[in-house]
Chains A and B, each alone.
Chain A
Amino acid sequence: MGTVRRARFAEFIRRLSIADPAASADSAFDLLAATLNAVEDELSGTAFNPERWQSDGRMYPPQRDNRHAVADHSTVVRYRSRAHHTYISANGALEITDLSGAIVLRKAGADGRHVWET
């Protein structure tokens, strides 16, 4: 049996926190997706199968069609998922919050600035 979800999520956040920062929004999205998929490949015990994302219990990266604009922040996009918002800015900064707005992860872009500082 794979590692429980909480431990996998903690590992995902740990690895993402210490990864080299991204320099663009696309790079940040790719970094997040690659980190999450690597953790799930190693620890979830469930094979990557996006067609079963609704039922297999594995964590999947945000869907690109769940992209939203952010009012008053033209350089920031928001990806909605079940219980979180993932914000990515043009400089590669990342921020993940829960639905109440509590910050789960805050990572600066390659230029040292955070999401809301761009």
Chain B
Amino acid sequence: MGDIDIIEQLRREIASRIGDATTSVDAPMTNDGSWWLDVRQAGHTATVEYRPNAGFGVSGPRGGYGEGPDVVLPNVSAAADQVVAFLVAARLVGDDDVVWRQRDLAASIAREVQRGLDERFAALRKELADSIAVVSGTVRTLESEVHQLVGASEGDEQEHR
């Protein structure tokens, strides 16, 4: 299936879910560029960026400049479902600025928490690796000492005979 067929399938699936939506396609200049599908309903826009072999990036309304999509999905049906979800949510929330600011703040906090967890896990992994290295060194030293003791013991036995 070609890229344009995939976009058309996405457009049909969205139309079958929300009949009063209008869609427009922004085709790329190059073969590996992104296809954009904008879906408008009741004054709100959801956008799908389809990048061949990279999936469907779906964005709800009120995106910021240069930001990535809200979610990346692997197939047409999941992308169509997400578009519908964003547009329904936009209708329910409307243009309440406080709600959207809270949403931005919640997303910022979630990212900060995730970053903190990533850093902590990285530090723990390093501590664990360092500890393993120390223990391994100690084990090697002990093994060497045991071999020396065994060797010395065997030497003593031969002398006694």
Contacts and interface: CB of A to CB of B under 8 A. Distances in A.
Interface stretch (A22-30, A55-63, A87-95, A106-114): A55-63
The DSSP consensus for interface residues of chain B is: mixed
Interface residues of B, number: 32
Contacts of A66: 28, 33-34
A68 interface: yes
Interface in B44-68: 45, 47, 49, 57, 59, 62-68
Interface residues of A, number: 34
Given A4-B108, A54-B72, A82 B67 contact: yes
B124 interface: no
A109 B34 CA distance: 28
Contacts of A54: 57, 68-69, 72
Nearest to A84: B65
A106 to B, nearest CB: 15
Interface of A: 1-2, 4-6, 9, 12, 36, 45-46, 53-63, 65-69, 80-84, 96, 99, 104
